[in-house]
């Protein structure tokens, strides 16, 4: 009887300890469903560094890059144990994938945590392409439909942006091919596997400018315009699409999600750690240098923004499904 009572007491003590364990109990994995080097990866790593340097969490945050189609890494998080130790960093690709049918799940299958930063995209070509303007790019896409290979991650940012761009010129038509995220598309474009794509401001800075902000003479690609409401600070001489007469803006936020059912303590705790990191000089300098807007949304404000973004992007995604 004494032995049995001891076992019962040990079990109760263990249960009480686990019931009152404070989050996080172990290292946190932040899944980035793209190769290293792209915009999402850069965003994740700059926030991770701030969390570590400011000791904002008692456990480390590890970035896990999952290459290939973004559905792979996204599904991994959706199906992960909802214990508050696995998170997803993605963007509007999650909605594009749902709207095009590339995914059989969507943003409502996760717990929203944070929307941080906002970046815009730039249509790109190789320097030796003979194409020197958006007008020339779209004219060729119209005169020779399907002749220009457009590198994309089908259902994601670059695919949706490409569809929006071609829709500005009736009759223009790109041939969209599955390549991947920003890093993969940069490689495909410089390697002449594709003719055009879009990259984010952060990627353009990384791939075409020197550390001092001057043009890299060895860069093999060039941007044609900027999709923001105002000119990109990193390339102030580059016009916006609207300046050129094209009714198109395309800017997106980085979204952090958790598996459905993740405890509120973990969702709120990770959000606060990200908020603390977003106030560091390192992060603010990153936003300025990469042309990001300083946006940070949580709670009801985040839910409202997600709903309004879905309302705007769903019809574009359905159109992309037909392309």
What H or E segment, with its residue span, contains residue 72?
helix 70-78
Please identify which residue in the block is written with the tokens 């902000």.
Answer: 213
- b or e along 17-42 (b: 16 or more beta carbons within 10 Å of the residue's beta carbon)? eeeeeebbeeebbbbbbbbebbbbbb
Q: What was the pLDDT predicted at 52? A: 97
User: Can you tell me the distance from the alpha carbon of 39 to that of 207, in angstroms, rounded to the nearest whole number?
Assistant: 12
DSSP 8-state class, residue 193: S
Instruction: Provide CATH code, domain 120-223.
Output: 3.40.190.10
Residues whose CB is less than 8 angstroms from the CB of residue 150 and which lie 6 or more positions away in sequence, other chains included: 158, 162, 174, 175, 176, 177, 194, 195, 196, 197
pLDDT tens digits for range 287-309: 988 888 899 999 999 999 999 99
Q: What is the pLDDT of residue 213?
A: 79
Bridge-based pairing of strands 149-152 and 293-297 is: unpaired
Q: What is the reported pTM? A: 0.77
pLDDT tens-digit readout, 141-173: 999 999 999 999 888 889 999 999 999 999 999
Sequence ranges of the chain with CATH classification 3.40.190.10: 120-223
Cβ pair 320, 159 in contact under 8 A:
yes
* CATH 3.40.190.150-classified regions of the chain: 28-119+251-321
| Distance in angstroms (rounded) separating the CA atoms of residues 209 and 235 | 9
Q: Is the pLDDT of residue 236 over 80?
A: yes
Q: Which residue has the tokens 């960093």?
A: 89
- The percentage of residues in the chain with a pLDDT greater than 90, rounded to a whole number, is 71
Q: Report whether 225 contacts 241 (CB < 8 A).
A: yes
User: Which numeric CATH code is attached to 28-119+251-321?
Assistant: 3.40.190.150
Position with higher pLDDT, 80 vs 180: 80
Given a cut of 80, whether residue 262 has pLDDT beyond it is yes
- pLDDT tens digits for range 5-53: 455 445 544 444 444 469 999 999 999 999 898 889 999 999 999 999 9
Distance CA 153, CA 180 (A): 4
pLDDT score recorded for residue 18: 44
Q: In this predicted structure, what is the pLDDT of residue 291?
A: 81
């Amino acid at each position: 009887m004494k032995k049995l009572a001891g076992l019962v007491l040990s079990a109760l003590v263990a249960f009480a300890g686990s019931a009152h364990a404070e989050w996080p109990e172990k290292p946190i994995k932040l899944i980035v469903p793209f190769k290293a080097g792209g915009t999402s990866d850069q965003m994740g790593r700059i926030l991770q560094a701030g969390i570590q340097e400011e000791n904002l969490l008692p456990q480390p945050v590890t970035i896990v890059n999952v290459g290939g189609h973004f559905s792979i890494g996204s599904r991994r998080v959706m199906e992960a144990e909802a214990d508050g130790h696995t998170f997803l960093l993605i963007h509007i690709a999650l909605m594009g994938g749902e709207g095009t049918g590339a995914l059989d799940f969507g943003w409502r299958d996760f717990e929203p945590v944070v929307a941080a930063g906002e970046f815009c995209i730039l249509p790109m070509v190789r320097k030796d392409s003979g194409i020197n303007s958006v007008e020339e790019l779209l004219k060729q896409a119209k005169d020779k439909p399907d002749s220009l290979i457009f590198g994309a991650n089908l259902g994601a940012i670059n695919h949706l942006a490409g569809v929006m761009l071609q829709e500005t010129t009736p009759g223009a038509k790109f041939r969209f091919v599955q390549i991947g995220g920003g890093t993969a598309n940069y490689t495909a474009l410089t390697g002449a596997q594709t003719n055009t794509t879009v990259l984010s401001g952060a990627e353009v800075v990384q791939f075409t400018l020197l550390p001092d902000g001057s043009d890299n003479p060895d860069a093999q690609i060039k941007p044609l315009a900027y999709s923001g409401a105002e000119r990109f600070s990193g390339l102030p001489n580059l016009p916006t699409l609207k300046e050129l007469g094209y009714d198109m803006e395309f800017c997106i936020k980085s979204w952090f999600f958790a598996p459905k059912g993740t405890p509120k303590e973990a969702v709120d705790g990770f959000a606060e750690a990200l908020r603390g990191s977003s106030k560091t000089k390192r992060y603010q300098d990153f936003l300025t240098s990469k042309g990001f807007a300083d946006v940070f949304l949580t709670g009801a404000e985040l839910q409202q923004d997600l709903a309004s973004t879905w309302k705007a992007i769903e019809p574009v995604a359905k159109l992309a499904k037909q392309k």
